Structure 1
Amino acid sequence: MDAYQIRFPLASTPLGASTARRRLVDGMRAWAEVLDQEVLDAAEVVVAELLANAVQHAGGTVIVARARLDFDGLVVDVIDASPVSPTVDSPGLEAEHGRGLFLVAALADRHGIEPLPPGKRCWAQFKVGAPMPAAS
């Protein structure tokens, strides 16, 4: 059983992604007793990147965003209906896009992509410094 969880659907639009990022970050900040500021800041950047990728590649389908905090740490993930997995590119110095997965890899302790029928789940996990309180 998860100790803390936020999960909701969103429209596959830039406004939907922006709103989802704020909702997830606000929810995670409520877990400040367990999460330190460094983890919160890194998770906010990772959430923004995962949501941006989903909006760009999901083809207008509904996206599901989630943050889960349990004994294994903080996991943020984004689920969309596109079967196309994001790839790591080698963007040029002047490129405005293509660095999202580099950021995810640099900031998260673990990350990955899971195929789903239909679509995929892109996730990132962060270690949590403080022990989790016992679930009541």
Structure 2
Amino acid sequence: MEAHHIRIPVSGTPAGATSARQEIAEGIRAWATSLEPELLDAAELVTSELITNAVRHAHDGPITAGVDLDGQALRIAVIDTSADIPEIALPDDDAEDGRGLFLVAALSDRYGFDPLPSGKCCWAEFEFSASLRTVATHLPLQRS
């Protein structure tokens, strides 16, 4: 089975985050046209939250966003240079932000972070149901 990958640099600006989110979402949709729309929508939202958090909290240094599709799972990962440990929090009802990791946890099958020598990798995974695995393993490679 051929795996699919996207890795892109993310500019540490709101415009860079928007561009990266769109490129990742387009890649996922191009690979996974036979997957459930709910999974695709959730993957796009999780991608948006992880990239936005990196841009907001990793002020200096490079940011890289990526997605891997291997027929069993879709894994979204964002690497940044901040050593700050992400924490899930529930903000006050009237707060305008602070719900990102809560959404990531609620929508993905697994999520977490891995410390790196110069920062961290925040990730989320979506498993495919057994009926969708056959479709995912036969998708044509769009990008690498």
TM-score by length of 1: 0.92
Q: In the alignment, what sits opposite 1:104?
A: 104
Identity of aligned residues (%): 49
The structure-2 alpha-carbon separation of the partners of 1:117 and 1:72, relative to structure 1 and needing over 3 Å to count, comes to: farther
Q: Which amino acid aligns with 1:68?
A: D
Equivalent residues of 2:73, 2:127 under 8 A apart: yes
Pick which of 84-93 and 38-47 moved more.
Answer: 84-93
Q: Which amino acid aligns with 2:18?
A: S
- Which runs of 4 or more aligned residues in structure 1 lie more than 4 Å from their structure 2 counterparts after TM superposition? none
Q: In the alignment, what sits opposite 1:127?
A: 127
The structure-2 alpha-carbon separation of the partners of 1:9 and 1:71, relative to structure 1 and needing over 3 Å to count, comes to: same
Q: In the alignment, what sits opposite 1:67?
A: 67
Equivalent residues of 1:73, 1:126 under 8 A apart: yes
TM-score by length of 2: 0.87
Task: Show CA shifts across 1:45-69 (max 9, x none).
Answer: 0011001110111013211000100
Task: Show CA shifts across 1:76-106 (max 9, x none).
Answer: 0100011112112231010011111110011
Once the two structures are TM-superposed, the CA of residue 133 in structure 1 deviates from its matched residue by 2.1
3-state SS of 2:66 partner: strand
Once the two structures are TM-superposed, the CA of residue 10 in structure 1 deviates from its matched residue by 1.4
Equivalent residues of 1:11, 1:60 under 8 A apart: no
Q: In the alignment, what sits opposite 1:11?
A: 11
Equivalent residues of 2:2, 2:137 under 8 A apart: no
What are the equivalent positions in structure 2 for 1:1-136 lying under 5 Å apart? Answer: 3-129=3-129, 130-131=132-133, 132-133=136-137
| Structure number having the greater helix percentage | 2
Once the two structures are TM-superposed, the CA of residue 111 in structure 1 deviates from its matched residue by 0.3
Equivalent residues of 1:3, 1:135 under 8 A apart: no
Number of aligned positions between the proteins = 136
Q: Distance in 1 between matches of 2:21 and 2:15?
A: 10
Extract unaligned runs of 5+ from structure 2: none
CA RMSD of aligned residues (A): 1.8
Extract unaligned runs of 5+ from structure 1: none
